[in-house]
Structures are given as C-alpha cells and as structure tokens.
Structure 1
Amino acid sequence: MDKALLHKKLPRETADKLAITVMEYCELLAGYTQTQGQMDRRYLTPEHKRTNNKIALLAQESHLHTWQDQAGNQWVRLQANQETNQRIILGSHTDTVPNGGKYDGILGVVAPLVLLKHFADNGVCFDFHVDVVGFGDEEGTRFGATLLGSSAISGKWKSKWRELVDENGVTLAQAMHSFGLDVSKVSEAQIDSNHVLAYLELHIEQGPVLEEKNLPISAVNGIAGARRFAITLEGKAGHAGTVPMGSRQDSLVAASQWIVELNKAAQNTITDEYPVLATVGKLEVYPGGVNVIPGSVGLSLDVRSINDSARDTFITDKLERLECLANAHGLRIELEETHTAQAVSCDTSFTEAMTEVVGLLTGTPLALSSGAGHDAMVLAEIVPTTMLFMRCEGGISHNPKESICTEDVSVSLSALTMFINEKVVI
C-alpha cells in the first residue's frame, strides 16, 4: 500500500471502485424493510437488528472491531496503531421514514464503512481510532421522539422515553427488551467526549442547491433551529346561503390571508444574512361542509433559520399579525408550541478544513447550511462536529425517488479521506 495515501486524496481509480461498493451496500441494506415494496426500517424492529448484524458482518470481513451499544447503535472500529483513547467518529442513521429512500442516513454509515474496510485491507491505520456509528433512530417514526441513538451516546437520553408507545401499543422499554437490550442500561452507551477528536457526518443534501450549482459535495456550516406550533382559529360556522358576507366569522378566510402573508414575508428574507423558512404543512377545516362557513381551522406552523434570533423575531411578528387578523374577523386564537430546537453551528476550524477539502476536489470551496435536523445536532453539543453534503437528484429525500450517482460518492470518499488524513491529524 502506498503510504502517501495518508497525505492526499484517494487515487481516482480506487475511489471509483469503492464508490461502486458503497452503492451495492446501500442496495443490499435497502432489502431490510418491514413493509414490502417500500423502504421502511424503524428503530428496534427485526429489520433494524438485521441491518446492524449485516454491517457487523461486512466489517468483520476486513477484521474490523464491531459492537452494538445499549441503545441499539451499531459501531465499527479501525484500531489505532498505538495505545490510545483518542478517536474520531463518522456516522449517520440507519432508520428511515415510512416509504422513504435508500440513501438518507444509511449513506453516511456505509460510505465510511467501505473506507475503513479499504484501510484495513491495505494495512493503513492512524494514531487514533477511526469509528463508524450507525445510529438506530434519528427519524423518530416509531416512537415519536427523534435522535434517540445520538442522544444516548451524548448523555442526553431522557428516562421518560422508556414509556413512549408505538402505533401497536408497544412501549420503547418493551421494544428494547425484544431487541435484546435493557432500557435500564442505556447510560452505558454514553461516550467520553474528552477522547473524541471530531464527529463527521456525510449526508445527502436533501435540497437542490448542489444540483443547481452542478457540484457533487459541499461543507456544512450549521444546522437550522426549528420551532413548531399548533394553531387553532375559532370563528362561527353558518349556512353558506343565509349568513351575509359582512356578518361572517370565517376562520378559513383569515387563515388563508395569513398563510399568503407568511409565505411572502419568508420569501423577502432570501437575501438576508440569515434567511427564514416558514411552512404551513397541515390545515384542518371544521366542519368541512361544502355549504357551511368554516367555523374552525387548525393549522401547523414550522419556522427555521440558522440564526435563532432571526427566526424568533420573524415568529413574533407573524403571530402578532395573526392576532390582528383574528380580531378583524372576530376569531379566537389557540396557540401551542409543539417543538423547539436551537440552531447548531458546526465547529469553525473543521468546517473551514472541510470547505478547503471541497475546494481542492471541486474547484469551489462551498459551505451550506442544513434546514433539516441531523444526529450532528446532538453530537455538536459535546464534541467538535462537522458535516459533508452530497448532491441528490432533484433535492428529493424521504421519498422512494431518492437518487444519487456513483461519481459523487467517489468524490465524497476522497473528501472523507483527505479530512481524516490531513485535517484531523493536524
């Protein structure tokens, strides 16, 4: 093996060959699904267990060390060339949304796994351990709470989660028992952050920017913070043919006007230093009769930004505007905040390093922000964290049409190698 590999990107021929293997592994693991004809793999299911076992078997072919922790996360290690506790961690999640895609999450497990196998097969190791982790739960599709796997290793696990119940009435504690785990021992999954040099997560972009720029990869400078609300506007239902227009308390008219204004206001932030994304994804009209004035409307609100202050100012302004509209239409408002997550900045030095790597490989040193949540959000609270985005066709994610190309995987593998060799070591 040419040890010069430790100071440069993978040779193109090698990267291309490994990329083909990554694609084959993604296709193989896509077969582990609980719903026939769909990509559907949820936390602590038999399919999750089969996935963990297969990842371990693939790693053991190259004599890599493997283990499963007490939260159901699967680990693979390339041992250091000396006695040390120092490690870097690469990873993502193995679970999917129902009827999802083949690459969201799992790509960030399989790509570094293939890279570690290549290193091991060619006698390459480092002054620190290189670990790959496949988090058992990021999506939260089975029990409703997200980021369970990464929360466990970060010491953020909440004891109340043991009582969470899935759609079949199975508690999380029961599911862990069936999986071969003990919920009372989840704390054993926690890692010592003092020994972690870096956490790096490769993920498909889940957006259209890289495709629009015709670039395969980019660094990631941060992850947007999100706040969500459940809003109800209460008016007065009435007969569509007998209540005069000037006497109506039509909740849908007010809701519709506000949604249009909300969308326009968010679009106006596109050129701001910290743009805001605002979405009303759910609308329920009651009583829902074709000849009945809507008496009540329930709607969701999701607002995100890489800057919490910009996001919160936007929310305050728009909710004040909603109150004005409600008063003008004679409506009552019920408001409940259902979710909040603070924005997360990736480690500045590592993001700069990854941006440099991206520039060397593509000619364009680009860093994007992520509007979607990732396990990196949790890890960033305890260890230096960065991410690498890879182009996906049409920006489509959480969808059976999710698609990536082998050429982009090849570039990503070179980026991971360069980051490990030239940046983390330094």
Structure 2
Amino acid sequence: MNKLERIVEHDAGARAVRRCEELGCEPYSDMRGGLFRPYLGAAHKAAMATLRGWMHDAGMSVRTDPAGTVIGRYEGAEANAPALLIGSHIDSVWNGGFYDGALGVMLGVECVAAFASRGIRLPFALEVVAFGDEEGSRFPLSMLGSRAMAGKAVGDVSQMRDRTGATLHEAMRGAGLDVGRMGEARRNRQDILAYLEAHIEQGPVLEHADAPLAAVSAIAGIQRFYVRVQGQAGHAGTVPLSMRRDALAAACEMVLGIEALARAHVDDFVATVGKIEAHPGAVNVIPGSASLSVEIRSADAQCLERAFLQVKDLVGGIAGRRHVGWEVQDHQTFAPAPCDGRLVDLLRSGIRAEGMPEHVLVSGAGHDAMMMTDWVPTAMLFLRSPGGISHHPDESVIVADVQAAFAVMVNFITRLPEVLDISARQGTVV
C-alpha cells in the first residue's frame, strides 16, 4: 500500500467511551461516589500510569514532561519530524463528568492506534498530549500544562497552595517532578505542526440542532471583574426607604441591567453574574456594602472591550441614582482565541464526508486550545452533549457521535499534508 486508504475502526468510539468510564471510578477519583481528579493528586497519578500503558499499547513511545503532561509519540516516515499534537486534559472538576477532556485524549489514542496497526507512517509524527490541570480545580491557575508547553509565562507558581495548604512545589515533588524545571516543558515551535483537540460541547446547541459534531471557529475571550458597591448600613426598621443607601438593592439592579445589556448584544456574547455577597449580612440590617462578580465572553475582542465599558457606564448610572459608591476590582482579560481557518474548513469537510449536518460554533468555554492558537495552527472538534450537561455526574455522550468524531479526526490527519502544503512524501508503510 503506497497511499493512505480510508481507515475504518468500528470499535474505536466505543473503546474511547469505555476508557473514559473506566477512569471515572476508583482509583482514578479522589472522591467517593463521584469523579474528582485534581492535578497531581493520587487519582491523577493513577490515571497517568494507566494512560501511559494505553499509549504504549497503541504503538507510542511515552514520556511525561516537566509540567506533568503525558505525551505519547508515534514517529513519522522520517525520524524527528514535526508533530501534529492531538490532546486535551485528564483532570476534572469536583463531582464532574467522565468525558470532559478525557474523551479528546482517548480519541487521540484511537487515532494513533489505527495508523500504527496498519504500519502507516505519515510525513509528520503524531503526539497525543494529556494535560493535567486545565480545570484549575486544585491550584488557582488553570491550563498550567498547556501554558508551559506553549511557552506562556506563568510567573512564580511554586508556592501556590491547594485547599489543604499543600504547595505546587510539594505536589510536583510527590509526582517526581521539579517545579524549578517547569520552563523546560516549552516546545520548540519548529517541532510542532499543528494542534487538534476534540471535546464535548458542554452546552445544548448541537443537541438542539440535532447535530452530532461541529467545527469550532474560535474560543471566546473572557473579561472577569468584581464590582464593589459601598452604601450605608442602617437599622431595617427605622430608616425610611427614601433615605436608604442600600448597597444590595443597588447591586441587584446592576445584575438585571447587565443581563439586559447582554440580551441586546449579538448571539455569541454572554454575561454572567455568578456570585454576589452583602455585608454585614444580618436580617435586620440594611446592607452597607455588596460585591458581585461579572464575567463577559465573546469571540470578538472589540465587542468585549465595548461591553466592559458599557457595564461600567451602567453600574455608574445606577450607583449615582441610588447614592452609593462603586469601583471595579480584580480585572482579568483572556483574549479571544481564533482557530486556523484552513483547519476549520478541513474539519467541516470531514463532517460533510460523514453525511452529517455541517455546523460551526464558537466555544464559550475555555480549553487548552486557547493556549495554542497564537502559537501553532489550531483546530477544535465539538461533540454533542446530551441535555447540554457537563461538569456534572450526568454528563454523557452518544457512542455513534464518538465514532463519527474518530472518523473525522482520521480524515483530518490523512488530509493535513495537502492543507498545510507539507513537502514530504505521502504516508508509507513500514
């Protein structure tokens, strides 16, 4: 066989699902009756060990990088060829679902196994990468593994502590890693061809459209901040309503105003107030101060910036009418992450080839791919989430969708040389 042929593995999707389910139970969870697999915890280390075995069985050499990312490599037709990275994360939130992150890793393993079992070597290497801390569910910095691989600055993180007081330095030492060498996880750009991540949608859009898969055009940027409102505490029974400077009432009006502002925007813009606090928090005291978290998301950077200014104008207007003070604190910005248009089209053509309706979505959730888009050509493939449920034990997938995703990914790998104009011979059999 001198040219690549259509690869069919009817059990690939079911096997990927079974392995995700296997990793949802002890010893791969640090909680009873549910899944919690935090970065470098006992369950995470057990999952890494099992994953290394699956990678080896699929025909890969396996290593763990200085940030704790498990990397399986299947060499190309020529040694040391640049690699297509295929991956996601294997950590989880507290009481999370089995498929968030892990399914993308298992599909990567299946893709490599399909080529390896046929002895097919490509003009590039295939590497399956399993990042360990995308969720940030143990330490207060998400996507540490993908940040490190892409050479993003992380600062001095060695003394970050988890809820038990353990530092990142201690956690890494317990896994045989050295936090001082984390910078060595950075990969040379010339060694990486592109990055592909398959992931459940984590929302209801594909199910609503009765579509199994979608190509992702971009990952939404995020602005997060707190609005602090300062009023005047007082006796709940003696201060007339007309004379009150109720911080909580002002904050509640701000919440509804932010929601109305978001509804007036384009479809891919969302705003969320996820947390609100009032002080002193007594039933018979007018709240003297309040704070609310605000998060806005869009794939359009200009839209995000305009919306941030609109939120500030809204908050200032409400505060002025209600005679309360206000300020914005802890402002964080994550830029939108557009996927590579050529690779988006390649995924779309693969979806069409499977006879499925073609959809393109913006990801509202953050993913490791966010760390890759400004570094290497990046693509994401979404799988439908039944019920739109994720980060929850009821998270699920449809095996037929997973099988279809496998087929689309194999098509992506097979056609990548023509899309990126790789000047090397087509895959050979060894």
The TM-score by the shorter chain falls in which range? Answer: over 0.9
Match of 1:262 in 2: 258
Match of 2:211 in 1: 215
Alpha-carbon distance change, 288 to 362 in structure 1, aligned in 2, over 3 angstroms: farther
Shift in Å at residue 425 of structure 1?
4.6
Match of 1:398 in 2: 391
**Deviation string for 1:3-30 (max 9, x for gaps)?**
77x354x43xx23x11111111111111
What is the identity, as a one-letter code, of the residue corresponding to 1:295? Answer: G
Counterparts of 2:2 and 2:249, CA distance in 1? 68
Match of 1:361 in 2: 354
Match of 1:37 among 33, 50, 55: 33
Shift in Å at residue 300 of structure 1?
0.4
Secondary structure of residue in 2 paired with 1:38 = coil
Match of 1:294 among 282, 287, 304: 287
Counterparts of 1:7 and 1:268, CA distance in 2? 50
Shift in Å at residue 353 of structure 1?
1.4
In the alignment, structure 1 residue 312 sits paired with structure 2 residue 308: no
Secondary structure of residue in 2 paired with 1:243 = coil
In the alignment, structure 1 residue 128 sits paired with structure 2 residue 124: yes
Shift in Å at residue 343 of structure 1?
0.5
Shift in Å at residue 254 of structure 1?
1.5
Secondary structure of residue in 1 paired with 2:157 = helix
Contact 1:227 1:337 in 2 (8 A): no
In the alignment, structure 1 residue 27 sits paired with structure 2 residue 21: yes
Match of 1:173 among 169, 172, 189: 169
What is the identity, as a one-letter code, of the residue corresponding to 1:364? Answer: P
Match of 1:78 in 2: 74
Match of 2:425 in 1: none
What is the identity, as a one-letter code, of the residue corresponding to 2:176? Answer: G
In the alignment, structure 1 residue 336 sits paired with structure 2 residue 332: no
Contact 1:7 1:422 in 2 (8 A): no
Match of 1:144 in 2: 140
Query: Sequence identity of aligned pairs in percent?
Result: 36
Matched positions, count = 417
Counterparts of 1:73 and 1:398, CA distance in 2? 22
Gaps of 5+ in 2: 420-430
Match of 1:350 in 2: 343
In the alignment, structure 1 residue 408 sits paired with structure 2 residue 385: no
Secondary structure of residue in 2 paired with 1:134 = strand
Match of 1:199 in 2: 195
Shift in Å at residue 365 of structure 1?
2.5
**Deviation string for 1:296-334 (max 9, x for gaps)?**
111100011001110110110121121111111111113
What is the identity, as a one-letter code, of the residue corresponding to 1:211? Answer: E
Larger helix fraction of residues:
1
Contact 2:58 2:110 in 1 (8 A): no
Report the more deviating stretch, 395-404 or 182-191.
Answer: 182-191
Q: How does 1:234-273 map to 2 (within 5 A)?
A: 234-271=230-267
Alpha-carbon distance change, 167 to 341 in structure 1, aligned in 2, over 3 angstroms: same
Contact 1:79 1:128 in 2 (8 A): yes
TM-score by length of 1: 0.94
Deviant stretches of 4+, over 4 Å: none
Contact 2:75 2:81 in 1 (8 A): no
Counterparts of 1:338 and 1:143, CA distance in 2? 19
TM-score by length of 2: 0.93
Counterparts of 1:288 and 1:62, CA distance in 2? 57
Match of 1:386 in 2: 379
What is the identity, as a one-letter code, of the residue corresponding to 1:198? Answer: A
Secondary structure of residue in 2 paired with 1:253 = helix
**Deviation string for 1:222-256 (max 9, x for gaps)?**
01110111111111122222111111111122111
Counterparts of 1:226 and 1:171, CA distance in 2? 27
Cα RMSD after superposing both structures: 1.6
Contact 1:350 1:386 in 2 (8 A): yes
Secondary structure of residue in 2 paired with 1:415 = helix
Match of 2:428 in 1: none
Alpha-carbon distance change, 165 to 308 in structure 1, aligned in 2, over 3 angstroms: same
Gaps of 5+ in 1: none
Counterparts of 2:96 and 2:58, CA distance in 1? 30
Counterparts of 1:384 and 1:401, CA distance in 2? 33
